[in-house]
Structure 1
Amino acid sequence: MAKGSCMSKSLAVGIGVLTVSSVSGLVLMAVMYQIQIEKFPPVSPPTPTKPGIPTGPPTLRLPDYLIPESYKVFFQPYLYAAINNNYTNQSFVFTGNSTVRVKSMAVSETIYLHVHDLNVTTVEVTKSDSNEKLSVKGYTIFQNETNFLKIELATKISGNGTYYDIFTKFEGELLENLAGFYVSWYTKKIKAEEEEEEDQERLLATSLLQPTDARKVFPCFDEPALKAVFDITIIHRPGTIALSNEIGGAHKIEIDGEEWIVTAFEETPIMSTYLLAFTVSDFTYKSKPSSTNINIHARKDAIDAGHADYAIELTEKILKYYEEIFDLKYPLKKIDQIALPDISGGAMENWGFISYQESGLLYDKESGSTFDQELVATMIAHELAHQWFGNLVTMRWWNDLWLNEGFATYMSYIGVENVGWDLRDLIVLREIQTAFQVDSLNSSHPLSLQENYIQTSTEIIDLFDDITYRKGAAVLRMLATFITEDAFMKGIKTYLNKFQYKNTVYKDLWSCLREETKENVEAFMSTWIEQVGYPVITIITQTGETSQEQFLLKQTGGHDIPWQVDIRYIKATDSGVKNDLLRVKGPVRRPHFELKDKDEWLLANVNCTGFFRVNYDEENWNKLRMQLERNHHVIPLINRGQLIDDAFNVARGHRLNITIALSLTKYLINDTEYIPWESALKNLDHLILMFDRSEVYGPIMKYLRKLITPLYEHFENSTINGTIPEKHTDQYNQVNAISVACSNGLPECIDNAKNLFKDYRNGTNNIHPNLRRAIYCSAIASGDEYDWEFAWKEYQRATVTTEKDKLRYALSCTKEIWLLNRYLQYTLDPSKIRKMDLVSTINYIAKNVAGQPLAWDFVRGHWSYLTQEYGVGVISLGSLLDAVTKRFSTDVELEELKQFQREQEEADQALAARALEQVIERTEANIKWVKENKQIVKEWFMGEL
């Protein structure tokens, strides 16, 4: 909360609880009476059983004899959107009740639901057809990983499909941990008495229930396969509107002399609990009527400024496009999208009511970059794809989460292409190369695990990672190439039509694809889905011998199951692309891979359609290098990036001399394309991470300065003039040129950044929005504390999230230790750094060589606080550990990691356990590689100066 806006939250909550608890029972009864939906007469609730850790079922999953069919749920958040002078009226409590109708398939005297962090005050069980009330002996909330609410009955419920209604009343707290039903805040400009605008704080209540947080809001069957329909009613304060998945109607009522608004929503389609959503705020909206009503909700000043205009136009186009290619109409009457001040993760695909970070939905034409605009497009395309893949057809259990996230990631590239963004090739940089890094570790995981391997909420959250999203997208792209994209989309249509409103496992998708293509899709894809990792294909071009082996940075033996590998290749003398299917492990004679002409070369995995790396004999690597230096246009664009990425990583895996990879970068002095440059810079950045604290860094910096100078000069005039290239990938490479040239000491780059920033400080910001992040960072890195303080004030003053994000990144670029330490402390204060920005801000600081040890010490020192105060989030803790340990390459740092792991085990904390295993393994690989290659790397760079 911003200082001075209200009393401390803990005090407000305390007062609110006292106030609410005294009237909540009367309030709820009055509401139910007035809107004539309270089915049962008021009765005195039984005394709740104290939470305990009783002996329960031997599994963490709900028993399968109760099938939920419908919920009728009432929520009443007591939050005021505006902060009144009478602070004692403010409360962060919500109350409610729920009736879930279930079908009983077995005789039992116990009922299990999910509940977490709720105070359940009433439990009643009634036979649906007769209204006969069953005697409840008691109920217990399990305070362990099951999160079970166990209801014990005096008489047994029947089986054979008998229906029962389970009624509960409950109370909860609106916390700030970005999970469940939580509270957020923003600043609103209002007219003061003197007609001058002033900032006032506003509060809102919103939800994020994925993956297992619906149970924090109401007692429910919180598993994705236990779908039901939901009838939601929200009672909220005047001056606010309530939103949920379906269309709602509002009317006023009076309770104990106070005015309230009741918004009752239409019944949802049958859906999973994690896709529910609700928000109470004083936001306004922009609407576009069409066959599906489209609404964008946000702060009033953002809507009035036109920041939602781009998103609403884009949504209509992408939604219609998806309806056409899926051959299935979007099933709800409306689609609301809301730009929230705080949300964990970039967005959430709630059915009919999608939540975004502001930067993922709002676009300001005046201060936004084309990259900001692209982000809005890709985020919307991703979340709209989920309305079919995930919402309409849902994975049966979280072990197949990749079916949701991998498909939405893959489809986002196709969706944005339809609205004018040609990003298809960038999937190689953003998804495939990133997934390769994680999947080259023994501590990676298969795309699909066995159901019983994924039980707890922590294990589920661990699956929201680069394997699920990025590798999932990569293997779907590979499959679409293998069977053709047309056949792939035909199979998708069959899959969606056949399983709509149902749950699936991934083999259901293979069956539908086989129906359309007659290809044995399961045989081709099974190892890619069920095995961890990916192969490196080694081709000896003198003999044509080809082999495959699991690629690991830290080799421990690998497995014996070969992947089905579709090797698409060309030779220097080929007129087109050919393909060959490699099915076996170990050396295999492939005569058509043999090169008989001494000047001929072979290039495999054309356009990087396969999820594997390629290694060649040294002679072929040298021929490919010479071809790049002679005429790089002969090599396909994607493969110019792929060759560099494969060579560096095969060298990291001890299968290739690092000097061959380094030599491939020399040709870039003549290439201005983004994909090969970005591939090279990412891999050279790894060398910088390994050596920027040693004497090797000087030669690396000088080489990079020499290599980048022609690229910087290529873009220099447009940078000074504040213009950008026409081609989108050239715009990315213009930013690369500035960032690398300035960070490696090119004088004209640094002078230009300083001059532009000086003009900014003097009141004229002529820096193009595309270039601001890079220019701000360079100026602050080479500037003083006054530059930092100026940027901090500009960050606090900025009202557009995308501009705040550019400044927030730039503040991490200073070399002053004391400023970086102060900045780290700011992350603990949500009035300075929003909670959703905490992880990325620490990650930015850790990227700075001066900030990395500070960030690591900060994370270790505040780990308990971060996990308790901020919640586990979805992927945040894993990305935090990954970022603050990227430079680790010494025995001391490895021991610090292992000690941290021991401390977590002793504290019985399993949070981000897989991520911790991965960074430990990566550090071990780094240590070995640095010891073997430090001198070789130093000598190569010295030889190029």
Structure 2
Amino acid sequence: MSKNSSVSKAFAAAFVVLTVSAITGLVIMIIVYNTEISSMNPTPRPTFPSTTAGPPPDMRLPKNLRPQSYKVLLWPRFYTKIIEEVNVTSPNQTLLFTGNSTVNFHCVQSTSSIYLNSMWLIVANPVVMNKDTNEKIGVSAVNDQQDNSIFLEVQLNSALEAGGNYSLSLDFSGEISEFLYAIYVSTYVEGVPAHEGDTNTERFLVATNLEPTDASRLFPCFDEPDMKATFNVTIIHRRDTKALGNAEQSDSNIIDKEWKYTSFHPTPIMSTYLFAFTVSEFNSISSQHDRVNIQTYARPEAIAAGHAQYAANITGEILKFYESHFEIIYAQTKLDQIALPDLEPTAMENWGLITYQEGVLLYEKGVSSLLHKEFIAMIIAHELAHQWFGNLVTMKWWNDIWLNEGFANYMSFFAVDHVEPTFKLKDMHMMNNLHNAFEQDSLASSHPLSPPQGDIQTTSDIIQMFDSISYCKGAAVLRMLADYVDKRVFDNGIKMYLSDLRYKNSDQNDLWEYIQKAVDEDAGHTEVAEMMNTWTKQIGYPVVTINTTNGEVYQKHFLFNDSSESSLSWFVPVRVMSNISAPTVLLLKPGKIENKDEFLSTNGEWILANVNCSGYYRVNYNPENWERLLTQMEKNPHRIPVMNRGQLVDDAFNLARAKIVEVTLALNSTRFLRNEREFLPWESAVRNLEYFVLMFDRSEVYGPMQVYLRKQVEGLYNSQNQSEVPTDHSSQHTQIIAIQVACSNRLPECLEMATEMFANWMNSNTTENNIHPNLRSVIYCQAVAVGGKEEWEFAWNKFQSSSDTSEKDQLREALACTKKIWLLSRYLEYTLNPEMIRLMDVASTINHIANNVAGQALVWNFIRAHWEYLHMWHGPELIRGVTRRFCTQFELDELVKFSIEYYQSTATRRAIEQTRVNIQWVSQNKDIILQWFERETAL
């Protein structure tokens, strides 16, 4: 290549040839673009822009043009490895990409301006064609990204006519990101060189992550979910790499000694946020399916070691389950999955090319916990559900993202239960989903599942919709509806919804319409929209109060902050049973106190509502019924369904946090745990007592609390054979929670076991780790917590040297468990260096440290000192993590000041509200709680 060609000539040559659509033109392009890549000056990395207005009066594209198809050519010019040459002072790597796109669109309303979304791209050579007459339309001006706008305006010499068909071609260039958005570079170390003779095992790949609004950073486009089109894509890439795209490969050929191209068949009609491609040296493994070619890609070393085998085994089965359940086949003939070393978020459902963080797709036998299989299965099931909910039928706008995420969560319960029935995970995941939703939705700063479109405008607004409300509350209200109308009826409505709206966009009104059709066909009487709009168009959920002495049943908006005024109410399907009667359902209507003696007349027996936790609400009872239920749990808990044993604890604790019942009632609900051996009740108690730990682990309450928990967990801990792992999947969860509770509350035999196991590993003369993979996470943490510098540095060295993703994740979390402040401070500094802590792991690592009482204050100071660096990717997550212990006026004042000076957001508003709740709750309950624990431990 010529090393003397100027940058301007190089770009000019590239833009000329990139407009050539024929594949034969690609060879000419390479010849013309015969320029030294490293001599180019890529676009400077921009700062993260503040959102500014585009086409008035709002942030949305005008609806006068409707895209139909795109033809996109992309050329990422990165190297897969660094080539070190003598007398060369800078490496050969480049982060430049160039491309050309043509979008064909229909004009709905006459206009003399074409608006597209485009950010941080250099655009050139606009060509507008009338496709009906094959005439060129003159362009008078191109206004691109002025003041960091998200819009590109192409002004025309003459207006486009309504009813006409047109195209816009543009050349563009941009920079491959190093920060996990849009098109980005990812690095990894290949233990086995990819090519014979390699000595440098560091490798580079590029991937895309475009949800929700980053497609416009890859190519100019109509980047809104209801602007669907097909995409015909060609990728130019280096000869020793493989390009993957949304659709099946249609053609591939060598251009010259360095480059080749890969073209793909047109995609289905889809939204821009689902566009994806990767270029890497990865290998793959196949899955079984009678029609779809399923390939799971990962590092060659990982594929050779069989780490992708479990994912490959279950993917085809999950896909078949969905095809059978929905009675709609998967829309393509190929499905690629790829395990990326770097990705934010955990996974992304790009149609035909699903991307995953490496750690959630790979299972490493002998290293990964046996329980890691359930996480892999849940993530795959979630992403495959999106191939129908989101990809085939897409929400009209981001205010209804719950139609994607809530459904994917809901369907994954059943898919995983189908492919792994012995795991018995459905109840556990349903409960976890319910409680995640409850936590956020108990605050007045929550948001509706489906807010008005006008409330969700900016990228920041959209991103904040990806939370536990959309994911978990969405799944919970769907489950409640299915339980009420009958799951068979619900499923029939969903099948009609997916079939009639395939390749189209929908909102929640469409969903209610189709479920209503199914209800009507079944001669049901439910007014679906009337009922469900109370759950989706307003925040929160109710607490249903049942008085068994007078038969009254009523509801009230449940909020942690009792000073918040609310008159909201819901249609609440309440499933009720008693000690002597089978479950039955009553519908509690909004704003009414009802007498339900016919349901509650049990001659003094206990009443239990929300049987199997199918409803999205909490339940309170009169004191007499509470006493009967708690007595039943202590004497013979098996009369109460296991899910409800957990939910009774959860309701009691949260009602106490909201000051609806006495805090002693919540504490009394834990007495039965001494004889409880099931996981779900223990998980519920541990999760709720975590709030007590956060509020009191810096006070005199914590000592007696630990003594009490040691007494309660001793029976569960001793019932486990800690020298071996149970074969039963649910029992493995129980074993781990027993060790966690016992060791964290300093049960001597547990601490002795953990430190001995870790010491044996440290002192072993071999690299073999004899700690069972299931137990490593908890053993590592407890041993590092009671240890010192030697244990911490041993774990750090193992973290640095390990190539096993599961092992690295467990060690990374365990390193945050030390009680040595200077070690935690050192660890925090490491998060600023991507060579030590990967960018996608920064927030979780900092939050692990914040979860440690010894590290919480350090983290609060640290994130404020480095906020400009950290908030760009991790702002809301960090705020949630670091403020969980805030319960003093001083901490509240600091948080308010931080919000004003640094970060005004939904996350800080929620944190401020929660801190105020914490302050009031602690001041009212601290003395009572201390006395209760002291009395119980004295018995």
* TM-score interval for Structure 1 and Structure 2 normalised by the shorter chain: over 0.9
Partners of 1:79 and 1:557 in 2: how far apart? 55
1:488 is aligned to 490
Alignment counterpart, residue 554 of structure 1, candidates 552, 555, 561: 561
1:924 is aligned to 916
1:211-252 alpha-carbon deviations (Å, 9 max, x no partner): 000000000000000000001111111211111101124544
Change (3 A) 1:725 1:885: same
- Secondary structure at 2:719 match in 1: helix
1:217 is aligned to 218
Q: How much does 1:143 deviate? A: 4.2
Query: Quick check: 1:251–1:261 contact (8 Å CA) kept in 2?
Result: yes
Partners of 2:123 and 2:557 in 1: how far apart? 51
Partners of 1:456 and 1:201 in 2: how far apart? 38
Query: Quick check: 2:81–2:200 contact (8 Å CA) kept in 1?
Result: no
2:790 is aligned to 786
Change (3 A) 1:28 1:234: farther
1:862-901 alpha-carbon deviations (Å, 9 max, x no partner): 1211234xxx4xxx43222111110010101111111111
1:861 is aligned to 865
1:359 is aligned to 359
Alignment counterpart, residue 439 of structure 1, candidates 438, 441, 444: 441
Q: Which of 449-458 and 510-519 deviates more?
A: 510-519
- Secondary structure at 2:295 match in 1: strand
Partners of 1:596 and 1:731 in 2: how far apart? 39
Q: How much does 1:587 deviate? A: 2.9
1:734 is aligned to 735
Query: Quick check: 2:275–2:351 contact (8 Å CA) kept in 1?
Result: yes
1:907-944 alpha-carbon deviations (Å, 9 max, x no partner): xx66xx11111111011000000000000000000001
Q: Structure 1 residue 429 and structure 2 residue 427: aligned? A: no
Q: Structure 1 residue 525 and structure 2 residue 509: aligned? A: no
Partners of 2:54 and 2:449 in 1: how far apart? 33
Query: Quick check: 1:120–1:169 contact (8 Å CA) kept in 2?
Result: yes
2:125 is aligned to 122
Q: How much does 1:184 deviate? A: 0.7
Partners of 2:134 and 2:215 in 1: how far apart? 27
1:48-90 alpha-carbon deviations (Å, 9 max, x no partner): 9x99989742111000000000000111111011211245532
Q: Structure 1 residue 542 and structure 2 residue 549: aligned? A: yes
Q: How much does 1:539 deviate? A: 1.2
2:750 is aligned to 749
Count of aligned positions: 904
Query: Quick check: 2:82–2:91 contact (8 Å CA) kept in 1?
Result: no
Query: Quick check: 2:679–2:730 contact (8 Å CA) kept in 1?
Result: yes
1:564 is aligned to 571
1:531-587 alpha-carbon deviations (Å, 9 max, x no partner): 10000011111111111000000134543342111111111222x111111103253
Q: Structure 1 residue 846 and structure 2 residue 830: aligned? A: no
Query: Quick check: 2:61–2:115 contact (8 Å CA) kept in 1?
Result: yes
1:147-191 alpha-carbon deviations (Å, 9 max, x no partner): 0101111211111x2111111111110111111001110001245
Partners of 1:88 and 1:630 in 2: how far apart? 72
1:892 is aligned to 890
Change (3 A) 1:146 1:29: closer
Q: Structure 1 residue 578 and structure 2 residue 584: aligned? A: yes
Please provide the CA RMSD for this pair. 2.5
Q: Which of 144-153 and 206-215 deviates more?
A: 144-153
1:568-607 alpha-carbon deviations (Å, 9 max, x no partner): 1111222x11111110325322213545634x11111111
Q: How much does 1:366 deviate? A: 2.0
1:590 is aligned to 596
Change (3 A) 1:22 1:830: farther
Partners of 1:591 and 1:646 in 2: how far apart? 23
- Secondary structure at 1:133 match in 2: strand
Aligned pairs (5 A) from 1:628-647 = 628-647=633-652
Q: Which of 271-280 and 732-741 deviates more?
A: 732-741
Query: Quick check: 2:96–2:174 contact (8 Å CA) kept in 1?
Result: yes
Q: Which runs of 5+ in 1 are unaligned?
A: 1-14
1:605-657 alpha-carbon deviations (Å, 9 max, x no partner): 11111100001111111111111111111111000000000000001001000
Change (3 A) 1:191 1:312: closer
> What amino acid sits opposite 1:263 in the alignment?
T
Partners of 2:568 and 2:668 in 1: how far apart? 34
Query: Quick check: 2:287–2:315 contact (8 Å CA) kept in 1?
Result: no
2:23 is aligned to 35
Partners of 1:704 and 1:17 in 2: how far apart? 74
2:13 is aligned to 26
- Secondary structure at 1:344 match in 2: coil
1:247-288 alpha-carbon deviations (Å, 9 max, x no partner): 124544446xx6311111110010000001011111111124
Change (3 A) 1:534 1:143: farther
Change (3 A) 1:939 1:748: same
Change (3 A) 1:334 1:596: closer
Q: How much does 1:16 deviate? A: 12
- Secondary structure at 1:418 match in 2: helix
- Secondary structure at 1:749 match in 2: helix
Alignment counterpart, residue 670 of structure 1, candidates 656, 661, 675: 675
Higher relative contact order (CA 8 A, sep 6+): 1
1:200 is aligned to 201
Aligned pairs (5 A) from 1:97-496 = 97-143=100-146, 147-159=150-162, 161-190=163-192, 200-254=201-255, 259-288=258-287, 290-420=290-420, 421-496=423-498
Partners of 2:699 and 2:692 in 1: how far apart? 11
2:805 is aligned to 801
Q: Structure 1 residue 76 and structure 2 residue 75: aligned? A: yes
Q: Which of 680-689 and 579-588 deviates more?
A: 579-588
Partners of 1:680 and 1:196 in 2: how far apart? 57
TM-score by length of 2: 0.93
1:429-488 alpha-carbon deviations (Å, 9 max, x no partner): 311011101000000001001111100000000000000000001001111111111111
Change (3 A) 1:538 1:16: farther
2:38 is aligned to none
Q: Structure 1 residue 707 and structure 2 residue 712: aligned? A: yes
> What amino acid sits opposite 2:793 in the alignment?
E
Partners of 1:125 and 1:595 in 2: how far apart? 76
Q: How much does 1:197 deviate? A: 9.4
Partners of 2:92 and 2:580 in 1: how far apart? 80
Alignment counterpart, residue 836 of structure 1, candidates 828, 837, 840: 840
Query: Quick check: 1:738–1:749 contact (8 Å CA) kept in 2?
Result: yes
Partners of 1:932 and 1:851 in 2: how far apart? 27
Change (3 A) 1:53 1:616: closer
1:357-389 alpha-carbon deviations (Å, 9 max, x no partner): 112211112211122111111111000000001
Report the identity percentage: 47
Change (3 A) 1:146 1:809: same
> What amino acid sits opposite 1:35 in the alignment?
I
Query: Quick check: 2:144–2:152 contact (8 Å CA) kept in 1?
Result: yes
> What amino acid sits opposite 1:432 in the alignment?
L
Q: How much does 1:489 deviate? A: 1.0
Q: Which of 53-62 and 227-236 deviates more?
A: 53-62
- Secondary structure at 1:629 match in 2: helix
Partners of 1:286 and 1:20 in 2: how far apart? 42
Q: How much does 1:354 deviate? A: 0.1
Partners of 2:776 and 2:53 in 1: how far apart? 58
Query: Quick check: 1:399–1:454 contact (8 Å CA) kept in 2?
Result: yes
Q: How much does 1:857 deviate? A: 1.4
- Secondary structure at 1:149 match in 2: strand
Partners of 2:54 and 2:746 in 1: how far apart? 65
> What amino acid sits opposite 2:481 in the alignment?
L
Partners of 1:145 and 1:534 in 2: how far apart? 40
Q: Structure 1 residue 623 and structure 2 residue 628: aligned? A: yes
- Secondary structure at 1:189 match in 2: coil
1:91-119 alpha-carbon deviations (Å, 9 max, x no partner): 10100011001111122111100001111
Partners of 2:761 and 2:242 in 1: how far apart? 40
Q: Which of 18-27 and 695-704 deviates more?
A: 18-27
- Secondary structure at 1:370 match in 2: coil
